[in-house]
Structures are given as structure tokens and as C-alpha cells.
Chains A and B, each alone.
Chain A
Amino acid sequence: MAVTISIPTVMRKLVGGEAHVEAEGATLGAVLADLEAKHPGSTKNVVDGEDLYRFINVFVNDEDARLGGGLGTAVKDGDTVRIMPAVAGGAS
């Protein structure tokens, strides 16, 4: 089940500069594990063992996965995953 992961600009250097990476898996956790396998270290600030870190957001088909199924969120062929790190800049 090929899923397209949108990689935020700050993480692109961890995945060879790509803005989108295809990954396989039936759950969000499996898809992120596949991303990690393809690009070791790319999910170090995304996945905390069995869960998503609480300081990052991941959206499956544009829906916040943390308050949905978390890493257990089911995904299927053609679904999208978007990783959104928290950013704080704005005044200085």
C-alpha cells in the first residue's frame, strides 16, 4: 500500500532533499517505520517508540492522527501523510 509522505522543509535533508517520499504500510506506524528504513534517522523526532512525540503533528489524509488512531491509524494505497513539526518563529 503506497502512501505519499509530505516531508517538511526542515526534514528534507534527512531524506535526500525530497519533498515527498513514497512508503509502504497498513498503518501510520508501519509507514513511518518504512520511511525510517529507507532514510535512517528521518523519524527520530517523530516517533517515540510506540507513539508519536507530543511536540509534532502528523496528518493522515489531512486529519490530525494524534487524536485519531495515533500510530495505529489505518492507511491504504493512495493515502497521504503529512509531517508538521511545531514552529515558533514570528516576531524576531
Chain B
Amino acid sequence: MGDAELTDEQLDRFARHVNMLEIGREGQKKLLDAKILIVGLGGLGSPVSLYLTAAGIGKLGLLDHDSVELTNLQRQIVHDTSGIGRPKIESAAEKLNLLHPGTETVLHSAGLRTTNALELVAQYDIVMDCTDNFTARYVMNDATQIAGRPMVHGSIYQFDGRASVFMPGKGTPCYRCILPEPPPVEVTKAQGGPFGVLPGVIGCVQATEAIKLVLGLGTPLVGQLLGYDALEMDFFKLRTKWDPNCAVCGENPTITEIGSDYVFEEPAPLKIGPE
């Protein structure tokens, strides 16, 4: 947008932001100029994509290689019955374009692979981790650390969720600082779920954090892990630490590119992109 003023339509559409002291026209322009990549258009990606679109984010990259299935509709609210059998990125884009035609949706149909992660991440300002497997999370963490982009993390299981913001560089924790290794398959074998509305809560937290980062408002969840226990309706914040020995963001990183050594055993089939 550069120095251009907001159009009349934008002043109307985003009036509730523009009339907030903390946001105003300048803040709304920042949102309209922002470019955010959403990795995963499922349970988390649904509220993330909807709220980032509603906020007027200028460009949203949509990355997911799955198609919509009936079982998704219990929680993946950006899709609907008409989308069953269609690629999730197309189904999502259709809904998002109706919500705010001014948000450009970019459909990354090749899916996430180790060979394209860095190049994809470099096209955006912020990356939203809305994936469903450890491999993708490690790939995206490493790519964002190497490319120097913040990543907004969200993850869920059954009735529990967590969210955090990983800034690039030394001094603040990334995903690997917190979790140097993924759990073995037998530990994380799926036991049903997730509770449908759970990713709605965590996805909204993620969207909130992304918007705060764009606007430079408030305190992001950096060095903090937000935990959510839906059954107890308990939100809690835990302090996470930077690991100077971290393989990707430590004093002497050993991971400086996205190689091929990311295949972990998963409880679900490895979903990192089509071959």
C-alpha cells in the first residue's frame, strides 16, 4: 500500500480497528501490507485463516496438500459440505475471498517439502504453524529460524492445547529449544479426538499473536508457552528458555539448511507433501 490512504470501503470495513487508539489507520495499513503463510488448513488453520482475513491481512499463503473429508467438518470450520473431496487450500480460499476479497490468497498446491520450505518461508513476514505432525513442525521451525521469520506455534491433543511465538535468532527459544526430540510413536498413539472446538480456541490465540506481531502491540508469547486445559477451563503460561546448545538457533548451530533428515516415525502417515 505504501503511503496510500485507506479506501472508503476499507475505512468502513475496518472501522472498529481504525477507531481504536492502539490501531488507527496506521495499524490497519500495516495489517493490509502484511504477508502471512498458514501451514495447515485444518483445525487450527481454519480459525487462523478466518480471523487473519477478517483483520485485513494483505496476503495469506495457504499450504496444505489434503482434501476436505466429512470427518473434518466437526472442527475445520473454514470448510463446508460443498468442499468435500476438494483440495483444502481451494475450499479455504473460496470462503476467505468471500469474507474479505481484499486479502490475496496464494494457493501453494505443491505442499510442504524439505526442498521448498525455505523458499516458501522467505516470501512471507510471519509463518503460522497449524500442522498436525512433528516432522512438519521441525521443518517449519528450522526454516523460519534460518530465514529469520517469526513462527506462531499452535498444537492440540484431545482436550489440551498450547501456543507460543518463536522469534528467529539467538536469545529466545525456538521449537527445538523446548523439544529437542519428538516423542516415539508408542507415546503419542492417537486415542481419539480432538475435541472439536479445541483448535478453535488455540487457533484464535495464534491469530491474536500474529496480529499483535504485525501491529507491534502488547506482549507476544515469546519465551512463554500458553497451555490450555479445556476440561478444567484452565489457561496457564509457562516460561520457556533459549538453549545455547540448540541445533538451529544456538551459539553454534549445526542445522543451517533444510536437509532431508526429517523423517520421524509418526502415529499418522507422514504428511510433509506429495512426492
Chain A interface (Cβ < 8 Å from any Cβ of B): 8-10, 19, 45, 53-57, 59, 62-64, 67-68, 82, 84-92
Contacts and interface: CB of A to CB of B under 8 A. Distances in A.
Interface of B: 40-45, 64, 66, 72, 129-134, 137, 154-162, 177-184, 187-188, 191, 193-194, 199, 202, 225, 227, 229, 231-232, 236-243, 268, 271
B187 A85 contact: yes
Given A91-B41, A91-B131, A85 B241 contact: no
The 7 A-B residue pairs with the shortest CB-CB distance, nearest first, are A91-B42, A91-B40, A87-B157, A91-B132, A55-B183, A90-B44, A67-B241
B238 A85 contact: no
Contact of A86 (B182, B199, B202, B236): B182
Contacts of A87: 155-157, 160-162, 188
Given A68-B241, A91-B42, A91-B66, A8 B160 contact: yes
A88 B132 contact: yes
A6 to B, nearest CB: 8
A46 to B, nearest CB: 10
Contact of A85 (B129, B177, B183, B240): B183
B43 to A, nearest CB: 6
Given A10-B160, A88-B134, A92-B132, A64 B178 contact: yes
B140 to A, nearest CB: 12
Given A19-B229, A45-B187, A91-B42, 7 more contacts: A55-B182, A62-B236, A62-B237, A87-B155, A89-B199, A90-B202, A91-B132
